[in-house]
Structure 1
Amino acid sequence: MNHWLTAPILIPLLGGILQTFMGYAPMSLRRTLALATTVLIVVATLGLLFMADDGSYRVYAFGNWQPPFGIVLVLDRLAAFMLVMTSVLALFCHLFALGGADEGNRQFHTLFLFQLMGLNIAFLTGDLFNLFVAFEVLLIASYGLLMHGGGTARTVPGLHYVVLNLVGSAIFLISVGMIYSVTGTLNMADLAVKIPQVTGENLHLVKAGGMMLLVVFALKAAVLPLCFWLPKAYAHATAPVAALFAVMTKVGVYAIIRVYLLVFGDDAGELANLGMDWLFPLALITLAMGVIGALGANNLRSLIAWQVIISVGTLLAPIALGSREGISAALFYMLSTTWTVGGLFLVATLIASNRGGAADRLITAPKMRHRTCLSALFMVGAVAAAGLPPLSGFFGKILILKSVEPGANMAWLWSVILIGSFLTVVAYSRAGSIVFWRTVDGHLEAKDEQHWPTSFAAGALTALSIVIVALAGPINEYTDAAAAQLLDTSAYLEILDAPMVGEDN
């Protein structure tokens, strides 16, 4: 067993526990330790990325219990990819919070680190029940983060978020109970072996459980019609929280990829590709709804929140078709859109702090301070989000368009993505022209200057769309290899025979 697999879980766990007992310590000390913890997570996940790049599966079984018994962590290319994407995003979000967004709640850093722990458990677990546990850990932390900063504007969206996710958690438990009642296991590798053997009346029970599970993952991913909670919740969260939440919907997307390619994939017999014929049209409709919401947004943060929904639809459409090229393209686009949207949330907050009472609303206002720098950052983020050349969003969408075979699916996908991209450009152009160029006479009330961590974090996270372009070749090679590994489910099943400590290899 490789003990390094536990690092992305133990580091935020220990860091969060330490922060819990430091609620009355000097703010500078809490911030230094919190940022150091996040840096360590980045280092650990990068190490796991290099380990996973050899194409082998690594297993860590808690208590040395042979799979499918006990708790098992599994590292492959996809898990490592998600860990790095999340940790890098979290680093810049945490850095931005040091500019003052972490004030007002002594346990902000505790909740932030526990959120990371839940996310990392979700990406590493090889068991459906422990995936549920991971969801609960990250959701409990997210409830506190969503309400961080106070204010009645967060109360109603926060309540909707909590209630919907509690309902989703209940459905999750019911669905895994139904599956366990038939198969006697919740280990994903073991389920991939046993589900093709299910017959008769049990087949309908597993099918119902699988479809309910897909509904839960669709809720986490914010697929239409389960997406309307997201815009207000994200738009009213504080900047570092909203930016970190850019990865939350990707957890639902990850769960769909992991479970429905492995457990309900091509080798699942009568349950093969369960729900995928529904997922493709729902993904396109979700994309279209996100574009409509972006066009109607009345402030920058709402516009960016609708961009999250656009990205979910764009991601799930090629994934639903199940080709290696489509999955690889979706992973490339996922990296781009997650970092881009996170950066846009941070930039929108900087813009709001420099527009006085107008904040980030799409209304005319006196000329803002630092307009040149902020407009450049917004333009870079908008170009990447809309999928225009030469930034990373363009390459991601091109790969998605190229991944589809000629036919009806290709016509629908190309039409929705291209028209949606054009209208997204319109939405960002409208917002940028109002905020930066349609100014009126007057003056802005004086505010404190920006702290360097906020400006650096927003600029660096936005600039990652350029870094992705510079590294597009190696990243695409990695996503191709990750997609091929996902589709070779026989290799994943070998973890059931992985040697434990004290056994002969």
Structure 2
Amino acid sequence: MQHLSILPILLPLFTGALLLLPPLSGTLYRQRVVTLLSSVLQVLAAVLLVIQIQNDGIHQYILGGWQPPFGIVLVADPLSTVMVALTTFLALGALCYATGNHDRGGKYFYPLFMFQVMGINGAFLTGDVFNLFVFFEVLLIASYALLVHGGGKQRTQATVHYVILNLVGSSIFLFGLGIMYGTLGTLNIADMAQKVPELTGSMAILAKIGALLLLVVFGLKSAMLPLHFWLPKTYSSASAPVAAIFAVMTKVGIYSILRIHNVVFGDEAGELANVAQSWIWPLALMTIAIGTVGALASPSLKILNANLVILSAGSLLVCAALQNEAATSAAVYYMVHSTLVAGGLFLLADLISNQRGKAEDRFVMAKSMDNPVFLALCFAVGAVAVIGMPPLSGFIGKVMILQATQSAAEQVWVWPILLLSSLGALIALSRAGTTLFWRGAPSKQNDEKQVIHIGEWIGVVMLLAASPLLALFAGPMSEIANSAATFLHDPSLSVDALLTSPLVNGGH
């Protein structure tokens, strides 16, 4: 089991490479089977990894035998393993949906999808900031191609926007890395956390600049205001399986903020302690506000879902700004909930669009759907979960966030904005549901009836059923979230233990 930590990276890497070679490269059916089998194995490996870390503690996978802080190290801890399990499960649901002929728009859909998953898993597992940049580039390059999969003017325009912004972000990332390496002499996250408190004077100022540059990059990835404007058009233009896997992309940015700014620039960072907190606080609250306004103004279900992703990103950024164990625990639970529900809603929006003729998913009167009961039930589950109403996981996640506010000042700011955002989501989704399901015109007799493919059905149900399951098993999931928060906020676990024996020698 010692190689379990690297399997979430190797499995999609080898699968993507094999799909590019004959005999798999020429047959779509074989590509579907191989990719789905690989995806199931990735889910199993991720779940086993979560169980192993919960039972045995954190594990370092040292590549090439180079000991930290000098070598390339993968760190499997409670937080990273939960995010890997989340990504692989989301990918499996999206791939099931893709088998309903959503994979025919381009030749290399499945290899690109696997490389995307590899990049996301690598970003969660890496133990140093330079390889975080490397995995960012891997997932971004795959996402560029996936976004234009199937072609079309709208997708091409959205891709140009997305590519230019992320190229700028990558350049800023490199500048930030250069400054951090120049001042600290290392990019290993644990080693950086040990050396940052020693900085003073001009070196501390340089490191602060580097930290804020990294915040800009992570803010761009997480759709933090004012770096959020690329997201609605990009997500709404992508094909349904791609939009579903993109639901975890903003969480990579949130994860990076929690990992870098909580561990390296947290309470123990001396002159640079909580250097980003004064920036994250107002931007997080404004991100919630702009996401709520965007949701209320959305003209279609896909754009509404995209704006709800921004709203959830703002809620998670509030957790990052609070910088305490309870907030981080709430963030972990809420990330799992919001990612799976958002992915399911993107798939559902595509199903609804296919059944409404030329009106697609726009909030206008259109012909009645052929499967209204199933689609309405799925929409109701997704809507209740997103709004944060009991008894689903969204309610538990938002209660955890509200309870994480400790001071009166925090409560005065967080409680009204978070509760009003839930009210805004309720209004937006009520309007959407009323228009889509209650204002349908009778279908003509010669209209071709739309049949939901079994893969589409499985994909939507898998992701949306996660919300009631997360509520049902909220106790065990909260324990895992608490374990992740404890690791992140305890320097003896997140810093010291990663640079001293027995972990350095490859132990647990």
Cα contact 2:356–2:367 (8 A) shared by 1: yes
Which of 461, 481, 500 aligns to 1:497? It is 500
Determine the structure 2 residue equivalent to 1:296.
Answer: 297
Shift of 1:15: 0.2
**CA shift at 1:441, angstroms?**
4.2
* Residues 406-445 of structure 1 aligned to structure 2 (within 5 Å): 406-443=407-444, 445=447
Q: For 1:158-199, what per-residue CA distance to the aligned partner results, in whole angstroms no more than 9, with x for missing partners?
A: 111101100000000010100101111101111011111111
Number of the residue aligned with 2:91:
90
Q: Which ranges of structure 1 fall in alignment gaps of 5 or more residues?
A: none
The 1:442/1:261 distance shift into structure 2, 3 A limit, reads same
CA contact (8 A) 1:315 1:334 kept: yes
Judge conservation of contact 1:356–1:445 (CA < 8 Å) in 2: no
After superposition, the Cα gap between the structure-2 partners of 1:499 and 1:395, relative to the gap in structure 1 and judged at 3 Å, is: closer
* Shift of residue 499, structure 1, vs aligned partner: 4.8
Which secondary structure state, in structure 2, belongs to the residue aligned with residue 53 of structure 1? helix
> Could you say what the CA RMSD is over the residues aligned between the two structures, in angstroms?
1.6
Amino acid aligned to 1:370:
N
Tell me which residue corresponds to 1:7.
7
- Give the direction of change, closer, same or farther, for the CA distance of 1:78–1:8 in structure 2 (3 Å limit): same
Post-superposition offset of 1:318: 2.0
Superimposed CA distance per residue, residues 408-434 of structure 1 (whole angstroms, 9 cap, x where no aligned partner): 211110000111101110000000000
Deviation at 1:498, TM superposition (A): 3.8
SS in structure 2 of the partner of residue 54 of structure 1: helix
Q: CA deviation at 1:366?
A: 2.0
Q: How does 1:479-490 map to 2 (within 5 A)?
A: 479-490=481-492
CA distance in 1 between partners of 2:450 and 2:400 (Å): 44
Which residue is equivalent to 2:189? 188
1:43-442 alignment runs, 5 A limit:
43-54=44-55, 56-442=57-443
1:444-463 pair list within 5 angstroms: 445-463=447-465
CA–CA separation in structure 2 for the residues paired with 1:438 and 1:504 = 62
Q: Deviations over 1:199-245 (max 9, x none)?
A: 12111111100000011000000000000000000001000000110
Q: CA-to-partner distance for each residue in 1:25-55, whole Å, 9 max, x for gaps?
A: 2221110001111111101111110011136
1:96 counterpart letter in structure 2: Y
1:476 to 456, 475, 478: 478
Contact 1:89 1:461 in 2 (8 A): yes
Distance 1:38 1:503 in 2: 28
Q: Secondary structure of 1:149's partner?
A: coil
Q: What one-letter code is carried by the residue in structure 2 that aligns with 1:458?
A: V
**CA offset at residue 450 of structure 1?**
2.2
Is the contact made by 1:55 and 1:77 (CA closer than 8 Å) also made in structure 2?
no
Q: Which residue of 2 aligns with 1:42?
A: 43
The offset of 1:448, in angstroms, is 4.9
Contact 2:497 2:503 in 1 (8 A): no
**TM-score in terms of structure 1 length:** 0.97
CA deviation after TM superposition for structure 1 residue 489, in Å: 1.5
Of residues 419-428 and 406-415 in structure 1, the stretch that sits farther from structure 2 once superposed is: 406-415
- Output one character per residue of 1:243-293: Cα deviation in whole Å (capped at 9) or x when no partner: 110000000000000011111111110001111121011111001100100
Give a deviation string over 1:106-153, Cα, whole Å, max 9, x none: 110000000010011101100100000010000000001111111001
TM-score, length basis structure 2: 0.97
Q: Which amino acid aligns with 1:90?
A: A
Extract unaligned runs of 5+ from structure 2.
none
Distance 1:502 1:84 in 2: 26
Alpha-carbon distance in structure 2 between the residues aligned to 1:172 and 1:40:
33
Residue 99 of structure 1 aligns to a residue whose secondary structure is coil
In 2, are the aligned partners of 1:339 and 1:462 still within 8 Å (CA)?
yes
Sequence identity of aligned pairs in percent?
47
With 225-234 and 14-23 compared, the bigger mean Cα shift is at 14-23
Structure 2 match to 1:464: 466
Q: SS state of the match for residue 55, structure 2?
A: coil
Match of 2:455, as an amino acid? P
Aligned residue for 1:20?
20
Q: Distance in 2 between matches of 1:99 and 1:498?
A: 50
Q: Give the SS at the match of 1:51.
A: helix
Distance 2:365 2:506 in 1: 71
> Which is further off, 286-295 or 442-451?
442-451
Q: How many residues align?
A: 505
Q: Deviations over 1:44-82 (max 9, x none)?
A: 111110011136221111110010112100110001110
Structure 2 residue identity aligned to 1:363 = V
Q: 1:380 to 1:500 in 2, by over 3 A?
A: closer
Distance 2:433 2:124 in 1: 36
Q: Matches of 2:507 and 2:144 in 1, distance apart?
A: 46
| Aligned 8 A contact 2:60 2:507 in 1 | no
Are the counterparts in 2 of residues 64 and 500 from structure 1 also a CA contact under 8 Å? no
Contact 1:287 1:311 in 2 (8 A): yes
Please give the alpha-carbon distance, in whole angstroms, between the structure 2 residues aligned to 1:503 and 1:399.
36
Q: Secondary structure at the match of 1:396?
A: helix
